[in-house]
A and B are shown apart, each in its own frame.
Chain A
Amino acid sequence: MDVQTLTFIIVGASFAMYIAIAIWARAGSTKEFYVAGGGVPPVANGMATAADWMSAASFISMAGIISFVGYDGGVYLMGWTGGYVLLALCLAPYLRKFGKFTVPDFIGDRYYSQTARTVAVICAIFICFTYIAGQMRGVGVVFSRFLEVDIETGVYIGMVIVFFYAVLGGMKGITYTQVAQYCVLVFAYLVPAIFISLMMTGHVLPQTGFGATLTDGSGMYVLDKLDGLSAELGFAQYTEGSKSMIDVFAITAALMVGTAGLPHVIVRFFTVPKVKDTRISAAWTLVFIAIVYTTAPAVASFARVNLIDTINGKDGSGTEYAEAPTWVKNWERTGLITFNDKNGDGKMQYSAGKMEDPNSANEVKIDRDIMVLANPEIADLPAWVIALVAAGGIAAALSTTAGLLLVISTSVSHDLLKRTLKPNISDKQELIAARLAAMIAITISAYFGINPPGYVAAIVAFAFGLAASSFFPTLLMGIFSKRMNKEGAIAGMISGIVFTAGYIIYFKFVNPGANVPANWLFGISPEGIGTIGMLVNFGVAFLVCKVTSEAPEEIQQMVEDIRNPKGSSAAHAH
């Protein structure tokens, strides 16, 4: 069977499974819609949270980025996993004990202020939208390549599927669908990685394989070969990277703190029965994430060696374009690989520098996003593996989209309508509002999937910066400082966001030409500025809190209460 038929079968089967689960678990009450009745076992919740967190960016883009930047890519690996430690140790158990549905709920109640709640709702919605646009695009890219439909059709198909299980199923549907999606995506990620590791190094585990010697007879270590190739072709050393230390530090911190402040991830920890289960669930989540995240850098190294060897040929003199493998031609058709035979020798030569630059010897331009999808083709793996990767990419994108949609719909129906604008609407009306909000959100995100803004990467930096400079410090102080009052929290959130957003908008949108290290504050790029924004938030909050009266007695009592793990199930008894 050819790749396309297999892709139809495998992707189709996985879809059928997701829809079946969504129907089976259709939600009844409002509470089930939001948090699955608080009755999901910790390991299942861990898997679902992992699927929720691992988006199209993790599945499709991350290994590709690492493949091109080597050591510098470590910021994503450490940032996105290290944030879980913060989340698990400092936030999740306490927010679960608090026992409300959403992050703005906590901020609104803890800081006894509608203003604080509203600021939090706006941040939550903005962060989620930023993410969704990228996810819908991811679905579109996968479909358009493997099913050979145009990208619009791809996005529409994805839209219908997401609509079904997010809007009809609610959180419970999502939790169990996401468990299934995690299984699909991890299998799809590991199978090609193990295949390639075995072929190149004889190691079953990719994690040890990329630290082993190549089996091509040279006896060289994989990474030594990569460093050698990088030096030869004019790239920075693969194992050393090219970013400054302070920037690597700041980006890692911003990603960590941003992860810990992401509303769609935090809300997952409200779905387990007890505080103790929240802790266990967070631990399992990280295990399931780590399986993929420790494989990614291995995939990155293998793909890099394979790519350079295939394009430049074993002797480095270039491969005849007429004899290029089919994957080069396939991806060329999507516009994600371009070849310009500048020296007219009919061979492809890849090296550092921009292909468009007439003074550079580089003749090939390769989009980073294709590395994971093209990897099985580059390594000549069987067609069913290629089909599996397509299913995995779609699972990753869909699961994250569904989780994000849920936060958007909850924020609108619960935080904005029920808690702010129309306090006396019934449960049923609230549920209808939630479903309507999800529908509108899907439509808007599909629009962005079809007409993506030209600066998706810039917007992602924006989302993390905002989460880092708004939610994380405010939540942390809400739990660990009893005295922190509403004046401090609101002033802190607003100054953190304004500083971070201002810096990013200036360098990314207003004056992109000035976006070079010499102009950066302390040498920190816009991707890492959330770290400083977080410090601004903390600083302002404590200063303002010092000169205003401390939080009222009953709030201090409430903080006292969330520090005590006992009695959480009572909050979810009805």
Chain B
Amino acid sequence: MAFKDNDQAKAYWAENLSLVLKLLAVWFVVAYGCGILFVDALNEIRFFGFKLGFWFSQQGAIYTFVALIFVYVRQMTALDKKYGVDE
């Protein structure tokens, strides 16, 4: 349809996948890494009145999630433009 040829469609999908995987890597490290797996080590660090691991679990992870989706929106809009599939 909108793609010029099959190679274009493949390239678009590959870039799409790599973006999603990168963002999900951050998602995993912040939520499961900082919030759960390394929480004890991070709790040794003070962040204002918070233990850092605790802060990630109850605040930091959520802010990161919001940021991730906005980055995704921006990058995908750019990607759609690049391949001429934007509307």
Interface of B is mostly: helix
Minimum Cβ distance to chain A for residue B34 (Å): 10
CB contact between A563 and one of B13, B36, B49, B65 (< 8 Å): that residue: B13
A279 touches B73 (CB 8 A): yes
Query: Considering only CB atoms, which chain A residue lies closest to B61 in the complex?
Result: A78
Minimum Cβ distance to chain B for residue A570 (Å): 10
Which residues on the B side are within 8 Å of A208 (C-beta)? 48
CB contact between A211 and one of B49, B66, B70, B80 (< 8 Å): that residue: B49
- Chain B, residues 62-80, CB within 8 Å of chain A (1/0): the string is 1101101110110011001
Which residues on the B side are within 8 Å of A81 (C-beta)? 61-62, 65
A77 touches B62 (CB 8 A): yes
Pick out which of these stretches binds chain B: A8-16, A281-289, A390-398. A281-289
A252 touches B66 (CB 8 A): no
Which residues on the B side are within 8 Å of A84 (C-beta)? 65, 69
Complex CA gap A560/B10 in Å reads 10
Minimum Cβ distance to chain A for residue B32 (Å): 6
A248 touches B43 (CB 8 A): no
A223 touches B86 (CB 8 A): no
A239-B43, A276-B80, A279-B72 are known contacts. Are A245 and B65 too (CB-CB below 8 A)?
no
B65 touches A565 (CB 8 A): no
Query: How many residues belonging to A are interface residues under a CB distance threshold of 8 Å?
Result: 55
Complex CA gap A570/B37 in Å reads 46
- Chain A, residues 482-525, CB within 8 Å of chain B (1/0): the string is 00000000000000000000000000000000000000000000
Query: Considering only CB atoms, which chain B residue lies closest to A285 in the complex?
Result: B69
Interface assignment of A439: CB less than 8 Å from any CB of chain B: no
B23 touches A89 (CB 8 A): yes
Interface assignment of A249: CB less than 8 Å from any CB of chain B: yes
A290-B66, A294-B59, A560-B9 are known contacts. Are A283 and B73 too (CB-CB below 8 A)?
yes
B48 touches A78 (CB 8 A): no
B63 touches A249 (CB 8 A): no
Question: Which A433-461 residues have a C-beta within 8 angstroms of B?
Answer: none
Complex CA gap A253/B77 in Å reads 29
Which residues on the A side are within 8 Å of B77 (C-beta)? 276, 279
Minimum Cβ distance to chain A for residue B41 (Å): 12
Interface assignment of A567: CB less than 8 Å from any CB of chain B: yes
Interface assignment of A240: CB less than 8 Å from any CB of chain B: yes
A221-B49, A239-B43, A297-B59 are known contacts. Are A276 and B86 too (CB-CB below 8 A)?
yes
Interface assignment of A376: CB less than 8 Å from any CB of chain B: no
B1 touches A286 (CB 8 A): no
A249 touches B37 (CB 8 A): yes
Q: Which of B20, B24, B58, B59 has its CB near the most chain A CB atoms (within 10 A)?
A: B58
Interface assignment of A329: CB less than 8 Å from any CB of chain B: no
A85 touches B68 (CB 8 A): yes
CB contact between A239 and one of B3, B54, B85 (< 8 Å): that residue: B54
Complex CA gap A563/B35 in Å reads 33
Which residues on the B side are within 8 Å of A253 (C-beta)? 32
B31 touches A252 (CB 8 A): yes
Which residues on the A side are within 8 Å of B85 (C-beta)? 564-566
Question: Which A57-84 residues have a C-beta within 8 angstroms of B?
Answer: 66, 71, 73-74, 77-78, 81-82, 84
Complex CA gap A292/B24 in Å reads 23
A566 touches B87 (CB 8 A): yes
Which residues on the B side are within 8 Å of A93 (C-beta)? 76
Minimum Cβ distance to chain B for residue A45 (Å): 14
Complex CA gap A71/B13 in Å reads 39
Which residues on the A side are within 8 Å of B65 (C-beta)? 81-82, 84-85, 286, 290
Which residues on the A side are within 8 Å of B68 (C-beta)? 85, 89
Minimum Cβ distance to chain A for residue B45 (Å): 13
A274 touches B87 (CB 8 A): yes
Which residues on the B side are within 8 Å of A240 (C-beta)? 43, 54
Question: Which B23-50 residues have a C-beta within 8 angstroms of A?
Answer: 23-24, 27, 31-32, 35-37, 39, 43, 47-50
Which residues on the B side are within 8 Å of A254 (C-beta)? none
CB contact between A249 and one of B2, B32, B48, B66 (< 8 Å): that residue: B32
Which residues on the B side are within 8 Å of A210 (C-beta)? 49
List 23 A–B pairs whose Cβ atoms lie within 8 Å, in order of A's numbering. A73-B58, A74-B57, A77-B62, A81-B62, A82-B27, A82-B61, A85-B23, A85-B65, A85-B68, A239-B50, A245-B37, A256-B31, A274-B87, A276-B76, A279-B72, A287-B66, A297-B59, A565-B76, A565-B86, A566-B1, A566-B2, A567-B2, A568-B87
A89-B23, A297-B58 are known contacts; what are 9 more A-B pairs with Cβ within 8 Å?
Answer: A89-B69, A211-B50, A276-B77, A297-B59, A561-B1, A564-B1, A564-B2, A564-B12, A565-B86
Interface residues of B (CB under 8 A from A): 1-3, 9, 12-13, 16, 20, 23-24, 27, 31-32, 35-37, 39, 43, 47-51, 54-55, 57-59, 61-63, 65-66, 68-70, 72-73, 76-77, 80, 85-87
**6 nearest A-B residue pairs (beta carbon):** A74-B57, A221-B49, A211-B49, A297-B58, A566-B2, A566-B85
